[in-house]
Chain A
Amino acid sequence: MKLTAPDKIVFSLSILFIVSLYWGLWQASDEAYEVEIFISGEKNYRLDLHENKRLAVKGKLGDSIIEIKDGQARFISSPCNTSFCVRNGWQSHGGDFAACLPNAVSLHLVGGGKIYDAINF
């Protein structure tokens, strides 16, 4: 059976259709949509990652400043002396985690396809 030009067009469009369906329906986005903020193990905030804001979260030692911007969250400052939480930078994927252990404040990103189930450090 020899393919004619219309056959080739239909065939190509069908393949494109399948690929677009695959990307549209089966590829889960790994971008998170909410951030949960914990103080001393208690969940205190659950915030939309697309509502840009900065907030001061009072922990054991003082205020940790957390910034939420364009679907990401990060520690801007914390009253610990290590600043490991600040150096962790922006978190944007479901399951991402950053914590200021001395100040007992942590943030967890919720939603999207998780890349990591746990972070070792």
Chain B
Amino acid sequence: MPHSRLVLSVFFLIFLTLSGCEAPKKPVTIFEEQMMVMGTIVNVTIANEEQKKSEKAFHDLLTDFKYMQAAWNPWKKGSLARINQLLPMQSGFSVGPALKDMVERSVDLEQKSQGLFNPAIGKLVKLWQFHQDEMPAGPPPGDEQIREILSANPKMSDLKLEGLTLLSNNPDVVLDFGGFAKGYAVNKAIDHLKAIGIENAIVNAGGDLRAIGSKGGAPWVIGIRNPRAEGVIASLKINGDESVFTSGDYERFYDYQGKRFHHILDPRTGYPADLSSSATVVHNDAAVADAAATALFVAGPEKWEEIAKNMGVAQAMLIDKTGHIFISPALKRRISFTDEKSLKITVSDKLTFK
């Protein structure tokens, strides 16, 4: 009998083990759709909502993004293009509440970034022809043309806002919110989803995203693409409400006579910033994450910590031209690198927040 008792015990153990592995009673339902707006692909992911509600939310966002695309394009007929047309008058004119807010926030972010994020350099963007959807073929603009724009020193603090009246003290200010509009739009999209009761979602605008809630209680898992090789370089779990934005030299560029010219311009030199491959920022505000990713990219390895601190960014990662990774302690603690041993990583000892 001891044998049969042991066999029974073992099968009882199997029963207990398998019964403990019960499949989840309610599987997570995921709604995923995408749209082509603001010159990029926007993916919307919604977890655990009724299909009809998710579909309606998606169409609401599509309408909203299309509106923002038209209103915030600096070069085609719309609200921002109208502002750019009126700014050289150097007398006051009216602006709508949304653009007023964008101007106010940009003034603040430009000051905190020490001018490395500067949406007032629209003239320079246009000179380089990065204002159009299609990449230019070259040649790049001449030194003299670049110096002429830089000598006028266009900056956000040249603008004065009184209520809904805007005026510029500098006729060379041309607004281009390219390093900020995507983040601002993603914020608006998430605000809308929250307002209609959707609490678990990701809005991913061309690789820059904000995630809220979770996937049936499990965190959202975000892969960060390797700027120089296939696949992802790291992953990050988000459970709550956070944005992940990356600026990289691989996104938009052209080659001319063997030299690469990318779209992130250094407002100090007038040329594409050449110290970084990519800059990634994690922040609860997508607009701040967007502007900070641009500013840190321009800042490069020597200055990124100072700029991040000024902009209130505790979680950031910069990859320089050689692939050397510089990362803040707060981000290093939670990020998982795919192959950490093969990477050169320096954890900042300056970027600490109390």
Listed in ascending order, the chain A residues whose CB lies under 8 Å from chain B are 1, 3-4, 6-7, 10-11, 14, 17-18, 21-22, 25-26, 38, 40-41, 61, 80-82, 84, 87-90, 97, 99, 101-102, 104, 106, 108, 114-121
Can you name the residue of chain A whose Cβ is closest to the Cβ of B136? Answer: A81
Q: Does B248 make an interface contact (CB < 8 A)?
A: yes
Q: Given the complex, which residues of A lie within 8 Å of B133, measured CB to CB?
A: 102
Q: Given the complex, which residues of B lie within 8 Å of A102, measured CB to CB?
A: 133-135, 252
Listed in ascending order, the chain B residues whose CB lies under 8 Å from chain A are 2-3, 6-7, 10-11, 13-14, 17-18, 21, 32, 34-37, 39-43, 45, 133-135, 202, 204, 206-209, 211, 215, 220-225, 227, 229-232, 235, 244-246, 248, 250-255, 280
State the main secondary structure of chain B at its contact with A.
Answer: strand
State the CA gap A97–B318 with chains docked (Å): 23
Contact between B224 and A41, CB atoms less than 8 A apart: no
Q: Given the complex, which residues of B lie within 8 Å of A101, measured CB to CB?
A: 39-41, 206, 251
Q: Top 6 nearest A-B pairs by Cβ distance?
A: A89-B230, A41-B36, A121-B225, A116-B223, A121-B207, A41-B35
Asked, given contacts A81-B254, A119-B225, whether A26 binds B21 with beta carbons under 8 Å apart, the answer is yes
* From A11, A21, A84, residue with most partner B Cβ within 10 Å: A84
State the CA gap A6–B229 with chains docked (Å): 55
Contact between B220 and A117, CB atoms less than 8 A apart: yes
- Closest chain A CB from B315 CB (angstroms): 13
Q: Given the complex, which residues of A lie within 8 Å of B255, measured CB to CB?
A: 81
Q: Given the complex, which residues of A lie within 8 Å of B45, measured CB to CB?
A: 117-118
6 extra interface residue pairs, beta carbon distance < 8 Å, beyond A1-B6, A10-B6:
A3-B6, A18-B18, A22-B21, A40-B36, A116-B223, A121-B225
Q: Given the complex, which residues of A lie within 8 Å of B32, measured CB to CB?
A: 108
Contact between B209 and A121, CB atoms less than 8 A apart: no
- Closest chain B CB from A34 CB (angstroms): 13
Can you name the residue of chain A whose Cβ is closest to the Cβ of B228? Answer: A87
- Which residue of A21, A97, A108, A117 contacts B221 across the interface (Cβ within 8 Å)? A117
- Which residue of A41, A81, A108, A115 contacts B223 across the interface (Cβ within 8 Å)? A115
Q: Given the complex, which residues of A lie within 8 Å of B35, measured CB to CB?
A: 41
Contact between A81 and B246, CB atoms less than 8 A apart: no
Q: Given the complex, which residues of B lie within 8 Å of A1, measured CB to CB?
A: 2, 6
Contact between A118 and B209, CB atoms less than 8 A apart: yes
Q: Given the complex, which residues of A lie within 8 Å of B251, measured CB to CB?
A: 82, 84, 101, 121
Asked, given contacts A118-B45, A119-B223, whether A11 binds B250 with beta carbons under 8 Å apart, the answer is no
- Closest chain A CB from B132 CB (angstroms): 11
State the CA gap A17–B32 with chains docked (Å): 38
- Closest chain B CB from A113 CB (angstroms): 11
Can you name the residue of chain A whose Cβ is closest to the Cβ of B223? Answer: A116
State the CA gap A6–B45 with chains docked (Å): 55
* From B13, B34, B45, residue with most partner A Cβ within 10 Å: B34
- Which residue of A17, A40, A82, A114 contacts B253 across the interface (Cβ within 8 Å)? A82
Q: Given the complex, which residues of B lie within 8 Å of A61, measured CB to CB?
A: 134
- Closest chain B CB from A63 CB (angstroms): 16
Q: Given the complex, which residues of B lie within 8 Å of A17, measured CB to CB?
A: 14
Asked, given contacts A101-B40, A101-B41, whether A117 binds B215 with beta carbons under 8 Å apart, the answer is yes
Q: Given the complex, which residues of A lie within 8 Å of B209, measured CB to CB?
A: 118, 120
Can you name the residue of chain A whose Cβ is closest to the Cβ of B10? Answer: A14
Can you name the residue of chain A whose Cβ is closest to the Cβ of B37? Answer: A41
Q: Given the complex, which residues of A lie within 8 Å of B227, measured CB to CB?
A: 121
Q: Given the complex, which residues of A lie within 8 Å of B13, measured CB to CB?
A: 14
Q: Given the complex, which residues of B lie within 8 Å of A88, measured CB to CB?
A: 225, 230-231
